[in-house]
Amino acid sequence: MLQKRPIKIGIMGGTFDPIHNGHLVTAEEALIQFELDKVVFVPAGYPPHKEVRKSLDPVERYLMTVIATASNPDFEVSRIEVDRKGPSYTIDTVREFRKVYGVEAEIFFITGADAMLEIITWKDADELAKMCKFIAATRPGYCLRKFEELHVLPYENKEPEPGKLKIHIMEIPALAISSTDIRRRVSQGYPIRYLVPEGVVNYVLKREFYR
């Protein structure tokens, strides 16, 4: 009888202000490359490292994420950080996922390389490193020197040295798209079709976001 392997869960963290096709391509690539059972998108509530006034209301960002992922059965969206009161810390989210999926589950936290570089400033980063592995999504040609300067070395298909975080680097061409640029385009009256899912385009225009 074949032994069933532990479930493999991807947590796609981000502000998603708004969610765009680069996020979706990243999640799909992680799903395939790392043989994940599913990817759960977790829109940030009130990120402690960002000014709240620069982000849309968490519920609105959550709804856009639901719209964007609805057609993919391997994607889910969690309200865990949206419903959490106060600052939203990644360590608290990973702890909750551990409670749901158990200690045997293999958890991968997926985020952009720039955000990954801030990991040493995150709450309880040492504990976080023990609870999950990390997938840092980058644009082709992204300089990894800053990872080396922080003594947080990426690795592929091998265990890192003791004391080093477990980080996989994953190049995603579509990450040339950015939420910042999308907000700028909307504010200046430029189209965002084909940069974000069509349902999100319609939602942004209807609600007059980023004007």
- Spatial separation of the C-alpha atoms in residues 45 and 48, rounded to whole Å: 9
- Work out the mean pLDDT of the chain and round it to a whole number: 87
Helices (H), the chain: 21-33, 58-69, 90-101, 113-116, 125-131, 145-149, 179-187, 198-207
Q: How far apart, in Å, are the Cα atoms of 3 and each of 6, 38, 106, 207?
A: 9, 20, 16, 50
Classify residue 82 by burial, with Cβ atoms within 10 Å: 0-12, 13-18, 19+.
Answer: buried
pLDDT at 66: 98
- Spatial separation of the C-alpha atoms in residues 164 and 178, rounded to whole Å: 29
3-state class of 185 per DSSP?
A: helix
pLDDT digits (tens, 9 = 90+) for 96-142: 999 999 999 999 999 988 888 887 667 787 888 889 999 999 988 88
- Spatial separation of the C-alpha atoms in residues 106 and 150, rounded to whole Å: 25
- Spatial separation of the C-alpha atoms in residues 134 and 154, rounded to whole Å: 9
pLDDT at 157: 47
Q: Which domains does the chain have, with CATH numbers?
A: 8-178 (3.40.50.620)
Residues 6+ apart with CB under 8 A from 59: 82
pLDDT at 137: 92
- Spatial separation of the C-alpha atoms in residues 43 and 84, rounded to whole Å: 11
Q: Is the pLDDT of residue 158 over 60?
A: no
pLDDT at 85: 86
Q: Which residue has the tokens 């995603």?
A: 172
Q: Is the pLDDT of residue 2 over 90?
A: no
